[in-house]
A and B are shown apart, each in its own frame.
Chain A
Amino acid sequence: MNLPSSIVVSGFVIASVWFALLFQPEAVWAQVEATQYTLDPQEVNQEATSTKPSTLPETTSIAAAQVTPNAGAQETTLTLQAEVSLPKLSLQGVSLETSLQPEAIANLWLEFADRYDLHRRLNKSRINSYAIYRNFNSDFSRALVSIGYNSTDLDGSGEIAIQLAENQYTELLSPAQHSAEKMATAWQDIDYTRELEAIVEQHALNSSGQVVASSLYVLYR
């Protein structure tokens, strides 16, 4: 085969392989679409940062803040906290009554990352993973932690790890890329003098499963 013919055949091979890749399973493509959605400035309050998001949400280190009530912080943050409505959340994923030490939370995220049965069932262009903290003990060192996807984002049915009705939440952090320090600081803005129903972390994921935006909400009783 002469040179021009070889180049044409190479082009044909490249085009064939590339077209074949366009027919990958929908769940795989859903993650790319999620990137385009979550990076929409209308949807996400993009805080310009060149920090590369980690595979696991940086909020896995929030427990490093050890959830110490900070009355002083309350005064300054009360005026900044907005009320937002979150839809009904029925998480399918992993759930464990555990310590809030960073290692314990990180392990639970790793357990969730291994749930390929869930990742494959994703059906929506917008992908969010959630971490819900409930049933805190008296010194806030332990809680029932559930990590997963909302059932509405998944095909088929599965075991519900935790369910929260549609509610008005207090927004502690709006969706954006946040450093671990900022997430930890946001936990200190919770009013621990009030009874806590749940703390919800929401993580928007890109096509590679990396966190592109995180937000934090608290639901008081």
Chain B
Amino acid sequence: MEFFNRVFTEDQVYGFDLWINDWFFVFAMAVFVVELLRYALLSKITWTMLGDSITNFITLAATSGINALMAAFFYVTVFYIVYEQFSIIQLPISGWTIAACIILADLAYYWEHRFLHRNGFAWATHTVHHSSPEFNISVAYRHGPLDGFFPLFFHLPLAVIGFNPLVIFLSEVLVQLYQTLLHTEAVKKLPRPIEAVMNTPSHHRVHHATNRQYLDKNYAGIFIIWDRMFGTFAEEKEAVRYGVFPRINSVNPLKVYFHGFTKLFRQIAQSDSWGHRLQLLYRSPGWAWQKEQEKKNASENGDYVTLPKELL
């Protein structure tokens, strides 16, 4: 209770943000080493896996640089302008406020994540994270070029309703860091009450799967309850196959980092109408894939697979 009633300064919140960011990375790297040893013991370690992991950290460095530029030029400023000029109230920075912000930031993340999967332009960046055929801690650090851009739109409303920007940034970080540890095959299932409420490695493996029944499921950050409430939950039952369609089969950092946008721009260039080009930007990747199949069918008069309506 002492923590919840305590009032924090901006400096304290910012200091904690920096501290947890730095030390969590050290901790995650230690976990990654343990994971590699586990794979070695199971004779599952391969040069491709190591190459894939190195590529993951290269994408991390690139995205961190882009994020730093965005933060310097507009990201932080926008939050402060909205908080100072357009917020309906300014909430005190108490333990209660921080706890509530984490919950709402997690809900905001759910919607952002769902958007990243359901919007063609957003998927072009987020597909990088999903393109690895592996599933270990290093995959959590595999980011696309604009991964740091989309959170702006989904977390800005928190500033409007009075959360201090630094509290929002801290909450964003905590939601991200929680998920980092979910990228592992070492943990099978956790006790049922935890699996019922929290996002777990099992739930997140489903999210990274290409198995048909797992597609576009389990968007949650910390709490899986959002998926259960909104009908996007799937239980891990059969073995998961990781990656994206089509497979990129490469550990080349440039190819991995830009393949989403390369594919999107190629689709746009090959479109036969401006209406279709526009739809490629805002409709789902499933819709784009379906249209490609229809086009192929029309030219070859062959069969094609139809995706379920909820994936279009």
A, B from the same assembly: yes
Count contacts on B: residues with CB < 8 A to the other chain.
Answer: 28
Please tell me if the beta carbons of A210 and B230 are within 8 angstroms of each other in the complex. Answer: no
Interface residues as binary, A30-70 with B (CB distance below 8 Å gives 1, 0 otherwise)? 01100100000000000000000011000000000000000
Q: Are A28 and B94 also in contact (CB < 8 A) when A14-B104, A18-B161 are?
A: yes
Chain B 95-110 residues near chain A, CB threshold 8 A: 96-97, 100, 103-104, 107
Question: Which residue of B is nearest A35, CB measured?
Answer: B90
Cβ of B72 < 8 Å from any Cβ of A? no
Chain A residues closer than 8 Å to B164, beta-carbon distance? 208
**Cβ of B8 under 8 Å from chain A:** yes
Give Cα A201–Cα B230 distance, bound, in whole angstroms. 56
User: What is B's interface to A at a CB cutoff of 8 Å?
Assistant: 2, 5-12, 90-94, 96-97, 100, 103-104, 107, 111, 157, 161-162, 164, 229-231
- Give me 26 A-to-B residue pairs in the complex whose CB atoms sit less than 8 angstroms apart, sorted by A's number: A1-B231, A2-B231, A6-B231, A9-B229, A9-B230, A13-B104, A14-B107, A17-B103, A18-B100, A21-B91, A24-B92, A27-B7, A28-B5, A28-B92, A29-B92, A31-B92, A32-B92, A55-B9, A55-B11, A116-B2, A116-B6, A119-B7, A207-B7, A207-B92, A208-B7, A208-B92
Chain A residues contacting B107 (CB-CB under 8 Å) are 10, 13-14
A10 to B154, CA, bound (A): 12
7 more A-B contacts (CB under 8 A) besides A24-B97, A31-B92, A116-B2? A1-B231, A6-B231, A10-B111, A18-B100, A28-B92, A208-B92, A209-B8
* 5 nearest CB pairs, A to B: A6-B230, A208-B9, A1-B231, A55-B9, A28-B94
Main secondary structure, interface of A, reads helix
